[in-house]
Amino acid sequence: MADVKMIATRESYGNALAELGKVNPNVVVLDADLAGATKTGVFKKAFPERFFDCGIAESNMVGIAAGLSTTGKIPFASSFAMFAAGRAFEQIRNSVGYPHLNVKICASHAGISVGEDGASHQCNEDIALMRTIPGMVVINPADDVEAKAAIFAAAEYVGPVYVRLGRLAVPVINDESTYKFELGKGVTMREGKDVTIIATGLMVARALDAAQQLAADGIDARVINIHTIKPIDKEIIVKAAKETGLIITAEEHNVIGGLYSAVTEVTSQEAPCKVVPVAVMDTFGKSGPAKELLEVFGLNAATIVEKVKANLK
Amino acid sequence: MDKQFLQTKALEVRKSIVTAVHAAKSGHPGGSLSLADTLTYLYFYKMNVDPKNPKMENRDRFVLSKGHTAPALYSVLAEKGFFDKAELLKLRKTGAMLQGHPDMKGTPGVDMSTGSLGQGISTAVGMALGGKISNAEYTVYTALGDGEIQEGQVWEAAMAAAHYKLDNLVAVVDNNNLQIDGEVDKVMSVYPIVDKFESFGWNVTTCDAHDFDSIHAAFEKTNEKNGKPWVIVQKSVKGKGVSFMENLASWHGTAPNDEQYAQAMADLEAIGKELEAE
């Protein structure tokens, strides 16, 4: 594992935007005084005339993005997840979601892996908030390759999209030369017949680690990456439920309203089976180095392995 | 500007507002009536719009930031021919095109979905910014309530409009000094409105919202492009034209009953007779 490249999906975002700016002149980027952190600064440097700082005023930024989209622009509006999905929730709901405008909300610093800034900045609720808006696409990429591809896919898709990005450098698990992003399609990262681990975001790499550890104990775990949480890939979930009978979900998000909820909404109707969450268990975050926090909150391979073993009959 | 033509149109708009809200048995007549003349002026004189081509690329845009006064916008759009006036009688009803607050997806001529106060002006800023980026010729107009400017987002938008030198943006603050809970200065004072916008870097002018000469003079000023957005603070009368609704906060969000409706239409007919006599 020593050779694995580590990169934060916010970096991927900035780089993807700069690439996108070259091929799509309608792309404009908005930020709320966080261009250095969200990495929209990469786009700003390349295309200063298409970058608009809105200052520390996220609600207004979302409204401006909505207005811009009606004039044929493709606005990417960024802030931290807490202030985009959180603070500006109602603006996203009413000025973007309700009129189904072509606005891309790309929020970095999601989840507890924000680290030292602590609970006020650790948004574990964004997937839940964004997922409840009718017509909103919600994407949570797992690594650099997927994040870049997701940004291009978001630009191509006509309609509102929320993309969740992280601050922490995470392992690159996809092969750029063969990777293809399909909106709304889950990805089977590893085949398995005993149990399915359905993961999203940075938990995908950890789910793969868990599967490897389980294999050593003779447990054959399937790993599915759900990068598009809405619309969710029902087919891949139902198939997993029917074929493996046990699902563990893994997400860096509150257990309420995120991936666990989205998966159980599918299984409860279409293929009832036991679904066990690995998530932030309805609590606020804490300050500390991101990697340590992920351990403290149990968002690691060890917890996934433990949940599998405890629930596998 | 043909003043008498606009007065006649505005009267029809007022009748439509009262008729639609009466038929809906709910809605916001007070603030719709206070904005009726300005909207008539915009759609029948000032704005470059085509009811046959509501999405025309170079059209002027209008955002009703005070979205609850949708009956005024709908009545003007119907009068202008964006859709059949018969739709007004279905306002707010199940399955109807005309929603309680403006829905750009469903209603021709509505440039932005609004209703949650404070949000419309931000979208208007975005439209104006889009126009600047594309070197488009259009102007973006938006109307806010005076109570609405209590929303912090309005001032975020005001800051951004000045910062980005959006002189293709014209806002109207409909200053009837009444909001749901009473007089604006008693609920939460927004005054002095003119000074506030000036200090935010806007060009500010004022007008009498029920005098077309005054409205015209104010909007003519906004033709001057000097790198600053424009705001017109218009002194208006909530419920204007319907005797028993004028200057009463209670007519913010109440529909007239049958008897009140008959009285309202009689009031408006009387104004029509006066106009004919002039």
Q: State in Å, rounded, how far the first CA of chain A is from the last one.
A: 31
Residue A313 pLDDT class (50, 70, 90 cuts): confident
Residue A92 CA to residue B123 CA, distance in Å, equals: 12
Query: Active-site residues of A: which are they?
Result: 58
Q: How far apart are CA A192 and CA A184, in angstroms?
A: 22
Asked, colleague to colleague, whether A6-171 and A187-311 share their fold, the answer is yes
Of B268, B271, B245, B221, nearest to B75 (Cα)? B268
Sheet holding B169-175, edge to edge: B61-64, B140-145, B169-175, B230-235, B203-208
Q: What is the layout of strands, in order, in the sheet containing A246-254? A: A187-190, A221-225, A195-199, A246-254, A274-280
| Three-class DSSP category at A109 | coil
Give residue-wise pLDDT tens across range A66-107: 999 999 999 999 999 999 999 999 999 999 999 999 999 999
Burial class (CB in 10 A: 0-12, 13-18, 19+), A213: middle
Reported as a pLDDT band with limits 50, 70 and 90, residue A3 is: confident
Determine the residue of chain B that is closest to A50 in CA distance. B133
Which strands form A104-108's sheet, in the order they lie side by side? A51-53, A27-31, A74-80, A104-108, A161-164, A137-139, A228-230
Q: Is the pLDDT of residue B12 over 70?
A: yes
- Indicate the burial class of A25 (C-beta count within 10 angstroms; 0-12, 13-18, 19 or more): exposed
Q: Where are the domains of chain A?
A: 6-171, 187-311
User: What percent of chain A shows pLDDT beyond 90?
Assistant: 98
Q: Span B3-277: which CATH code?
A: 3.40.50.970
Q: Does the predicted TM-score (pTM) go above 0.95?
A: yes
User: What integer is the mean pLDDT of B48-52?
Assistant: 98
Chain B, 121-180: which have a CB under 8 Å from a chain A CB? 121-131, 133-134, 136, 140, 152-153, 156-157, 159-160, 163-164
Q: Which residues from A are below 8 Å from B136, CB to CB?
A: 71
User: DSSP states of A122-166 as a string?
Assistant: -BSSHHHHHHTSTT-EEE---SHHHHHHHHHHHHHS-S-EEEE--
Q: Which of A23, A123, A85 is nearest to A230 (CA)?
A: A85
Compute the distance between CA of residue B255 and CA of residue B261 in angstroms, rounded to an integer.
Answer: 9
Q: Is the pLDDT of residue A2 over 70?
A: no
Q: What is the mean pLDDT of chain A?
A: 97
The 10s digit of each residue's pLDDT in A98-125 is 999 999 999 999 999 999 999 999 999 9
Torsion of CA A134, A137, A141, A144, to 10 degrees: -150
Rounded to whole angstroms, the Cα distance separating B189 from B147 reads 9
The number of beta carbons lying within 10 Å of the beta carbon of residue B4 is 11
Minimal C-alpha gap between A9 and chain B (Å): 28
Asked if B129 and A67 come within 8 Å (Cβ–Cβ), the reply is yes
Specify whether domain A187-311 bears CATH 3.40.50.920. yes
Determine how many CB atoms are found less than 10 A away from the CB of residue B23.
Answer: 16
Amino acid letter for position B265: M
The string of pLDDT tens digits covering residues A29-61 is 999 999 999 999 999 999 999 999 999 999 999
Distance CA B186, CA B174 (A): 17
The residue count for chain A: 313
Superfamily grouping for domain A6-171: Thiamin diphosphate (ThDP)-binding fold, Pyr/PP domains (3.40.50.970)
Quick check: A95 and B123 CB within 8 A? Answer: yes
Question: Which pLDDT belongs to residue A245?
Answer: 97
- How confident is residue B42, by pLDDT bands cut at 50, 70 and 90? very high
The DSSP result for A292-307, as a single string, is: HHHHHTT-SHHHHHHH
Question: Residue A118 class from Cβ within 10 Å (0-12 exposed, 13-18 middle, 19+ buried)?
Answer: middle
Q: Do A66 and B122 touch (CB under 8 A)?
A: yes
Task: Give B 56-75 residues with CB within 8 A of chain A.
Answer: 61, 63
Chain A residue numbers with beta carbons less than 8 Å from the beta carbon of B121 are 63
Q: Tell me if B127 and A70 make a contact (CB, 8 A cut-off).
A: yes
With beta carbons under 8 A apart, name residues in chain B contacting A65.
Answer: 126
Of the candidates A114, A124, A167, A116, the one whose C-alpha atom is nearest the C-alpha of residue A287 is A116
Judge whether B105 is closer than 8 Å to chain A, CB to CB: yes
Reported as type and span, the H/E element at residue A51 is: strand A51-53
Q: How far apart are CA B241 and CA B30, in angstroms?
A: 10
A144 Cβ partners below 8 Å, 6+ apart?
A5, A7, A9, A11, A12, A170, A172
How crowded is residue A37: how many other Cβ atoms within 10 Å of its Cβ?
16
What does the alpha-carbon distance between residue B39 and residue B16 come to, in Å, rounded to a whole number?
13
Report pLDDT for B72. Answer: 98
How confident is the model over A205-210, as a mean pLDDT?
98
Contact criterion met (CB < 8 Å) for A63 and B121: yes
Residue with tokens 């792309």: A27
Would the CB atoms of A90 and B116 count as touching at under 8 Å? yes
pLDDT at residue A1 above 70? no
pLDDT score of B96: 98
Q: Quick: pLDDT tens for A245-300.
A: 999 999 999 999 999 999 999 999 999 999 999 999 999 999 999 999 999 999 99
**Strand-pair partners of B208:** B235
B234 has which bridge partners?
B174, B207
B136 CA: distance to closest CA in chain A (Å): 10
Taking CB atoms within 8 Å and a gap of at least 24, the contacts of B48-56 are B48/B138, B49/B80, B49/B109, B51/B77, B51/B80, B51/B81, B51/B82, B51/B108, B51/B109, B52/B81, B54/B82, B54/B108, B54/B109
B223 burial class (0-12, 13-18, 19+ CB within 10 angstroms)? exposed
